[in-house]
A and B are shown apart, each in its own frame.
Chain A
Amino acid sequence: MAIDKNEPSKLRWGELEEDDDLDFLLPPKEVIGPDENGIKKVIEYKFNEEGNKVKITTTTRVRKLAKARLSKRALERRNWEKFGDAVREDVGSRLTMVSTEEILLERPRAPGTKQEEMKVAGDSLAQLSKGGAVLMVCRTCGKKGDHWTSKCPYKDLAAPVETFVEKPAASEASVAAPGAGKGAYVPPSMRAGAERSTGSDMRRRNDENSVRVTNLSEDTREPDLHELFRPFGAVTRVYVAMDQKTGTSRGFGFVNFVNREDAQRAINKLNGYGYDNLILRVEWATPRTN
């Protein structure tokens, strides 16, 4: 009847603490070390509150801040003792910190610079194949996916032709022979019964559908406004007032829409919209009463 007290610990359920539970039933922790992308996975097994076995996979990316390949003497210097004010340095001293922000080498931006063109040219092929998510068609030179009409670099070379790009032959024929077959050609706006309202001429600035945007941030440029207002409708022109001396925005700009309704919706939606840390003010360019 001797009780062998030296028996190797057979876990007795009465002696187990609350927390220990039945850890021995769990598979051991696995660490899949950093692969070539620096991804490290740690797989742990735990019991959750209901007593179910739970597998926890933690995926982290191990990033090397800088590759330091030091020469022999540099390595020696690495082991030098601290001197001067650094002697009493505690680990918690925040003298050296890695920036919380990612800082980029910002390329100089300006609409129509080479940098933007290159980016767009690279994207245009992709966009075309996408089937026209952003299908930029320039009406002046007919180039697709390169630039908008208002930014056409060949503005003066190609005469404004109010025809579809797909049918150049047919339209040229009809325009080139005005008096030949039909007698005098009367444009639609001058025909009898035509409504001579303030119709938007495609070439002129659409003052009627012009929206003024104020409280822009310093870095805002034309492409930003264009991107912001495009969802509301076709935009013919964007302009951001710039300070010549500093090259920054003066805080306001104008956006011209093709349709008045689009402009109205843009005003409704974007007035008070937070953009680049500032609250935008969006209103009609000249006070209009509806």
Chain B
Amino acid sequence: MRPILMKGHERPLTFLKYNRDGDLLFSCAKDHTPTVWFADNGERLGTYRGHNGAVWTCDVSRDSMRLLTGSADQTVKLWNVQTGTQLYTFTFGSPARSVEFAIGDELAVITTDPFMELTSAIHVKRIAKDPTEQIEESMLVIKGPQGRINRAVWGPLNRTIISAGEDAVIRIWDSETGKLLRESDKESGHKKTITSLTKSADGSHFLTGSLDKSAKLWDTRTLTLIKTYGTERPVNAVAMSPLLDHVVLGGGQDASAVTTTDHRAGKFEAKFYDKILQEEIGGVKGHFGPINALAFNPDGKSFSSGGEDGYVRLHHFDPDYFNIKI
């Protein structure tokens, strides 16, 4: 396949997200400006100007009308996707690390980093249909985990919130009361910081990637460990194909890229694994720096990766990708 290279960001990429229809790709980077691209040919549509710090995360509503971005400038901003105007700004006492719309786009879960005296926290905010009616206060604030919470997502039917972070423990909280319902098992769980988390298309299982060079697949209801995928490099980003039983891991550490005589495309690769057999199917090389973000198009026919090198690489699969057999 011939990837499409998009160099819209001057700084490393942090997050990538497709919209529900799969025609727009939102990219967040450390350069303060989230960007939206067309997902078929990589043409840039626009940028959202307004943040004063690295943008760590974003999520787009189901109708692709509103975008939430979380940034190191301690704010979470709500944008109009089409025009790029800011609709609302939530202010926190510390950088925002992860945002996600709930099913129905009326709630959002936001995590904030530990900063000075503040511990890390999970906030649930109500998102009003009309931005002028938006209230600042959180509906619910959950505190508890030590260290940074790198990712928090909604569980099935918005009844639970799943969080994962630096303490390598996955926690499931009740989204109405804030009570801790479940924790992942310490022995079978990750041993180092969990950097990324992605849900399956139907929400029944999710995948976490960690700096302990592995990724693990968990059941959403019971938090049992289903599968483990091992790599040789710390995992910074994970993605699951909505079409085939594949998982993709991306990561890497800069120090290992020692080769200086390589004139071909970069050595950092996104590794594909068979979800059920846990075996490596192959890798897609190309990035010149560690991969920080991965996202699959909801139609499963393309995926994109964002790296430390500031490039977003958009790959449309060749027909024989769909015939791979181990």
Contact B83 A83 (CB under 8 A): yes
Report if A89 contacts B (CB, 8 A).
yes
- Give the number of chain A interface residues (Cβ < 8 Å): 38
Given A86-B47, A89-B44, A102-B1, CB of A277 within 8 Å of CB of B261: yes
Interface 9-residue window, one of B69-77, B114-122, B215-223, B276-284: B276-284
**Chain B: which residue is nearest A108 at the CB level?**
B280
A66 and B41 within 8 A (CB): yes
- Contact between chains at A108 and B282 (CB < 8 Å): yes
- Contact between A83 and B47, CB atoms less than 8 A apart: yes
Cα A101 to Cα B252 with chains together (Å)? 22
Question: Are B2 and A83 closer than 8 Å at their CB atoms?
Answer: no
Contact (A101, B45) CB under 8 Å given A73-B64, A84-B84: no
Q: Could you name 11 residue pairs across A and B whose Cβ atoms are closer than 8 Å?
A: A73-B21, A73-B63, A80-B45, A84-B47, A85-B35, A86-B46, A86-B47, A98-B4, A103-B265, A105-B284, A106-B285
Judge whether A97 and B4 touch: CB under 8 Å.
Answer: yes
Please, which residue of chain A has its CB at the minimum distance from the CB of B264?
Answer: A101
B4 CB contact (under 8 Å) in A86, A99, A246, A278: A99
Q: Mark A81-97, 1 if CB is under 8 A from B, else 0.
A: 01111110100001111
- The answer to whether B259 touches A66, judged by C-beta atoms less than 8 angstroms apart, is no
Contact of B44 among A96, A103, A104 (CB under 8 A): A96
**B6 and A82 contacting across the interface, CB-CB below 8 Å:** no
Could you tell me the distance in whole angstroms from the C-beta of A73 to the nearest C-beta in chain B? 7
Q: Is A208 an interface residue (CB 8 A)?
A: no
Main secondary structure, interface of A, reads loop
Instruction: Please name all residues of chain A whose beta carbon is closer than 8 Å to the beta carbon of B49 when the two chains form the complex.
Output: 84-85
> Which residue on chain B has the smallest CB distance to residue A82?
B46
Asked if A1 CB lies within 8 Å of chain B CBs, one says no
Given contacts A73-B21, A83-B83, A97-B4, contact A105 B272 (CB under 8 A): yes
B283 adjacent to A105 (CB under 8 Å): yes
> When the two chains form their complex, are residues A95 and B285 in contact, meaning their CB atoms are under 8 A apart?
no
A247 within 8 A of B: yes
Question: Known interface pairs A73-B64, A74-B23, A277-B263. Does A65 touch B2 (Cβ–Cβ under 8 Å)?
Answer: yes
Interface: B156 (CB within 8 A): no
B281 touches A105 (CB 8 A): yes
Whether B43 is near chain A, meaning CB under 8 Å from some CB there, is yes
B227 at the interface (CB under 8 A from A): no
Q: Is there a chain B Cβ closer than 8 Å to A12's Cβ? A: no
Give bound CA distance, A107 to B324, whole Å.
10
The CA-CA distance from A242 to B24 in the complex, in Å, is 43
Q: Is B316 an interface residue (CB 8 A)?
A: yes
Compute how far the CA of A6 lies from the CA of B73 in the bound complex, rounded to whole angstroms. 79
A245 contacts the other chain (CB 8 A): yes
Instruction: Knowing A84-B47, A95-B44, A101-B264, say if A71 contacts B315 (CB, 8 Å).
Output: no
Q: Are B261 and A105 in contact (CB under 8 A)?
A: no
In the complex, chain A residues whose CB is within 8 Å of the CB of B204: none
Report whether B40 and A68 are in contact in the complex, using a CB–CB cutoff of 8 Å. Answer: yes
Q: Within the complex, what minimum Cβ distance (angstroms) separates B274 from chain A?
A: 12
Q: Which of B97-130 contact A (CB under 8 A)?
A: none
Alpha-carbon distance between A94 and B21 when the two chains are bound, in angstroms: 26
CA distance A94 to B58 in the complex (A): 25
Interface check B286, CB cutoff 8 A: yes
Task: Give A1 Cβ to nearest chain B Cβ, in Å.
Answer: 68
Question: In the complex, what residue of chain B is closest to A278 when comparing beta carbons?
Answer: B261
- Please tell me if the beta carbons of B259 and A218 are within 8 angstroms of each other in the complex: yes
Query: B302 near A: Cβ within 8 Å?
Result: yes
- Cβ of B289 under 8 Å from chain A: no
What is the minimal beta-carbon distance from B9 to any residue of chain A, in angstroms?
10
Decide: A103 and B232 in contact? CB cutoff 8 A: no
| Shortest Cβ distance from A107 into B: residue | B282
B231: shortest Cβ distance to chain A, in Å? 11
8 Å CB interface, A15-31 against B: none
Asked if A182 is at the interface (CB within 8 A of a chain B CB), the reply is: no
Q: A66-B302, A80-B45, A86-B46 are in contact. Are A103 and B285 (CB under 8 A)?
A: yes
Q: With a CB–CB cut-off of 8 A, which chain B residues contact A74?
A: 21-23
* Interface check A192, CB cutoff 8 A: no
Residue of B nearest to A115 (CB): B326
Task: Report B27 CB to chain A, min CB distance, Å.
Answer: 12
* A78 adjacent to chain B (CB < 8 Å): yes
| A-B CB proximity, top 5 nearest | A84-B47, A83-B46, A83-B84, A74-B23, A68-B40
Complex Cα distance A96/B27, Å? 14
**Bitwise interface map of A from 33 to 61 toward B, beta carbon under 8 Å scored 1, else 0:** 00000000000000000000000000000
Digitize B32-71: 1 where CB-to-A-CB distance is under 8 Å, 0 elsewhere. 0101011011111111110000000000000110000000
Verify A99–B2 contact, CB threshold 8 A: yes
Query: A10 contacts the other chain (Cβ, under 8 Å)?
Result: no
In the complex, A68→B39 CA distance in Å? Answer: 9
A95 touches B6 (CB 8 A): yes
Decide yes or no: A103 and B284 within 8 Å by CB, A82-B45, A96-B42 being known contacts: yes
6 more contacts with CB within 8 A, not counting A77-B23, A277-B261, are A73-B21, A74-B22, A89-B44, A98-B5, A105-B1, A105-B283
